[in-house]
Amino acid sequence: MKTIIYTCPYVPAEWIAAHGLRPSRIIPDAAGSTGPVVPIEGVCPYVRGFVNEVITGTQASAVVVTTVCDQMRRAFDIVVRKGKLAAFLMNVPSTWQSVAAQKLYLDELKRLGRFLIGLGGESPSTDALVKIMLEYDTARTSILAARGYLTSRRYSEAIARFNRDGKSGITRDITDKKPLTDGIPLLIIGGPLLREDFEILDVVENSGGRIVLDATETGERGMCAKFDRRRLRDDPLMELANAYFGGIQDAFRRPNSELYNWLKREIAARGARGIVFHRYVWCDIWHAELRRLKDCIDLPVLDIDTAGDNETYKHRTENRIRVFLEMLQ
Amino acid sequence: MSNTPKQITLQEWDQRYEQLQRAGMHQPDYGGPLGRHVEDGDYRLLKLRYDNSAAALRLWNFLLTEEQRLYQARTRGKKIVGTMKDLGTVPVMAYSLDNLVAFYPDGAWWIPCVMELSAGLLSIADSLGIDESFCPVRAMLGAFVTGAHFPIPDLLTCSVGATCDDFSAIAQRLNSLGYPILWWEIPHRRSPEHNEPAVKLPGGFSAPKCQVEFVKSQLELVKTALEELAGESLDEKKLSAGIQKANQVRAYLAELRQLAFTAKVCPLPALEMLVAEMLAIHFCSDRDETVIVLKELVGEVRSRVKAGKGVLAADAARIFWVNPVADLQVMNLLEDCGGRICGTEYLFSHALDTIPEDLPPTEALARIALADPMVGSSVDRAERICTDIRRFGSEAVLLSRIPGASHCALEGEVITEVVQANVDIPVLEIEVPPVTDSIRPTLRTRLEALVETVIERRKR
Ligand code: SF4
Ligand code: SF4
């Protein structure tokens, strides 16, 4: 089965799977100083890791990139020029309040569908799409139910594994387990995590903290809303678009006030006492939110800026997390 | 009095001003000696060199009095629209209504340079969490907070979607500080698919018809907001008249560019050309006056070209400049090093293209908005650059990187590759911060090297 890789949460895995292809939302490595895109001032390390993985990786048949940030949009040019994979750039609107923006997203899904068919995928029947959406929805529910039973890292990695492989395998993990309650409850928020960044979650736990909300793009924040079963049967593609475009809150949206509304609700529900703000150097979209987050959420915020592959950054990050948690003790 | 074209300093302009006055120069109400603007804190002016014509004086005075013009407009009861990140589309709509004035808050980009960092705008941006990892447009945040550089607009619009991350993030920060913004979207321009209805855009790109329709729907939202603000409907007739006026500006600029970039001897310096091109974006807050300023400038350049006179040596290296410079003085520096500008892509080439007049006006504006070189791929932009390189006979490309800009890090390589593959001329990439004093020797060496390369290649 052909594999279609992507990294943006606004690309619905169900839509690719319904075309008889294998969706895989990858988590790139922090590309070192090698690879087609070398570390250059101004390039987000995540973009660099993604582009290098797409260009050098051999497993996939095609890649889907989205327009959620300018750097990714420009990265697409590099992928097309230097890579061998078929590539598709999906327009994900920044605005979301107008019907026109919602329709644009839906139209882009249809265009993606045509691209997938061009790759050898099959046009999905309504029944096939409904079935796949139900499977994914059930898997997501089981993952969400495991929250609190797994260590912070295992939980976030379970989400990442599901995104990559479409399988949760989660019930096996939590059988007979008691919920974890130790540690100071924290949330982590920011863009996507590179593979190496998951270590941060261990550092938090080893320093006396516990992540009660992974609001990074690779974590719970990057999961679509639960499907409405009735609407799903009436018009599955529309429901898919609603759950993704309407259900995932992100800093790039204009306005992005819904991200803060969502965050406030989740903080209240989960009792977080502090925020780890994770961002990459040269990521304007998240960087600009840091001060606002500090201003509008009444919790201590630890700013972790990372270059992705740098040992100095790593040690500094570990120390700062320790000090942050000591302060919260 | 000698009218030989040349570049002069600000101090020399004082004397020149007196001469022109004595010779009976007509001046508009915003006229006066250039040196007075230094009292407003525009210290960089002391270090620039200017064209010595009366037309250039009028151009500079027009540019440097925009703030006063905006305040006067408000006093006269006009409503002010801040059109952010949209280069030359919404202003055309706003100026089609009698009691609206549009300006471009992003223009604060140049304040740190012009005021040599004395305005403190970058420190204010720092304090709001927008540090030097963002492009110099962050100065705009400081300008809003201080309210000292332009009146706070009655309506703020901002184009998003296929924009840079810097501006999108900064505008969102502004919004979070309590400034309401009407967001409108331009999607990333893509190539039409096989059998998909397509539209040829001004400037040569093409786009799927559905994208034009989408942008049209966005412009309708903007139109409604403008109408509400103006208390007046913006019907097709008014909008068409507004487009015709904008095209008058664009026609003068087209002629100016053609003359300045192709003449044997460069008739107008790079700096004045840059300022003139910028007028296309929002008419420097007075559309009618923009037409007059450009008409005079074109007249001056026409007569210089006819007389074979100019401001630089005839063998100056013909450079195509990509991206605006954060420090205006670098334009002078290129000329000091033996170069001249023959072709530009300052991020807004679409604002220089003629807006179609044979289409329904909103459709025409949607097409022009989608023709923005920055909303498509870097390859598109590079190909447009190549077309202009051929047209203007440029001998090298100078890519000036904007510190922190989200588009600069990855597009430079693409543009370089496409230019070298298509037109086979040298490309040099430099980074230009708002004040370049400390890196001037390095910049000079690099620019001289580029000029030397061009001269060497002529011997081939
Ligand atoms: S981390 Fe920021 S710059 Fe990097 S891909 Fe995500 S939004 Fe874009
Ligand atoms: S210079 Fe570039 S990064 Fe800065 S606002 Fe303009 S387009 Fe955006």
pLDDT category at A178 given cuts 50, 70, 90 is confident
Q: Does pLDDT of A278 surpass 80? A: yes
Q: Are A104 and A86 in contact (CB under 8 A)?
A: no
The nearest CA of chain A is from the CA of B228 a distance in Å of 19
Q: Where are the beta strands (DSSP E) in B106-255?
A: 155-161, 182-186, 198-200, 206-208
What secondary structure letter does DSSP report for A254? Answer: B
Structural contact between residues A293 and A275, judged by C-beta atoms closer than 8 angstroms: yes
- Contact assignment for A74 to B410 by CB distance below 8 Å: yes
User: Which among A25, A47, A65, A304 is the best mutation to test ligand 1's pocket, defined by most ligand atoms within 8 Å of the CB?
Assistant: A47
How far apart are alpha carbons B18 and A187 in whole angstroms? Answer: 68
pLDDT of residue A313: 77
Pairwise pLDDT comparison (B157 vs A307), residue with the higher score:
B157
pLDDT along chain B (460 residues), means of 10: 90 95 94 94 94 98 96 97 94 97 94 88 96 96 94 98 97 98 98 96 97 98 98 98 98 98 98 97 95 98 97 97 96 98 97 98 98 97 98 98 94 96 98 94 98 95
Cα–ligand 1 centroid distance for A69 (angstroms): 6
Dihedral sign, Cα of residue A252, residue A253, residue A254, residue A255: negative
Torsion angle, alpha carbons of B181, B160, A38, A30, to 10: 70
> In the predicted model, what is the mean pLDDT of residues A174-189?
84
Distance CA A235, CA A106 (A): 12
What is the tens place of the pLDDT at every residue in A129-163?
A: 999 999 999 999 999 999 989 999 999 999 999 99
List, in order, residues 6 or more apart from B198 with CB less than 8 Å away.
B192, B206, B207, B208, B209
Instruction: Note the ipTM here.
Output: 0.96
pTM, whole model, 2 decimals?
0.96
The predicted-structure confidence for B42-75, as pLDDT tens digits, reads as follows 999 999 999 999 999 999 999 999 999 999 999 9
Contact B106, B239 (CB under 8 A): no
Residue B119: name the closest of B201, B236, B40, B29 by CA.
Answer: B40
Q: Which of A74, A105, A249, A250 to probe the B interface (max B CBs under 10 A)?
A: A74
Give the model's pLDDT for residue A37: 79
Model confidence band, residue A40 (pLDDT cutoffs 50, 70, 90): confident
CB A30, CB A44: distance < 8 Å: no
Give the sheet arrangement for strand A22-25, strand by strand.
Answer: A22-25, A3-6, A62-66, A86-90
What beta strand segments (E) does B312-409 contain? 317-322, 339-345, 396-401
Q: How far apart are CA B131 and CA B127, in angstroms?
A: 8
Q: Tell me the mean pLDDT in the region A116-137.
A: 97
Q: Which residues are B145's β-sheet partners?
A: none
Residue A175 clears pLDDT 60, i.e. is over it: no
Say if CB B185 and CB A101 are below 8 A apart.
yes
Rg for chain A, CA atoms, rounded: 19
In the predicted model, what is the mean pLDDT of residues A290-313?
A: 89
Q: Could you tell me the two tokens for B234?
A: 């913006």
Q: Which of A71, A186, A217 has the alpha carbon at shortest distance from B168?
A: A71
- H or E element at residue A194: none
Q: What is the pLDDT, as a whole number, of residue B308?
A: 97
Q: Quick one: average pLDDT of A248-255?
A: 98
**Is any ligand 2 atom within 6 A of the Cβ of residue B403?**
no
Separation between Cα atoms, residue A70 and residue A72, nearest integer Å? 5
Q: Predicted confidence band at A33 (pLDDT cuts at 50, 70, 90)? A: low
Contact B328, B110 (CB under 8 A): yes
Inter-chain residue contact B188 with A77, CB threshold 8 Å? no
Hey, is the C-beta of A8 within 8 angstroms of any chain B C-beta?
A: no
Cα dihedral: A30, A35, A39, A44 (round 10): -50
Q: Is A291 on the interface with B (CB under 8 A)?
A: yes
Residue A217: burial class (beta carbons within 10 Å; 0-12, 13-18, 19+): buried
Distances, alpha carbon B370 to alpha carbons A254, B295, B359, B448, in Å: 19, 28, 15, 37
* Mean of per-residue pLDDT scores for chain A: 93
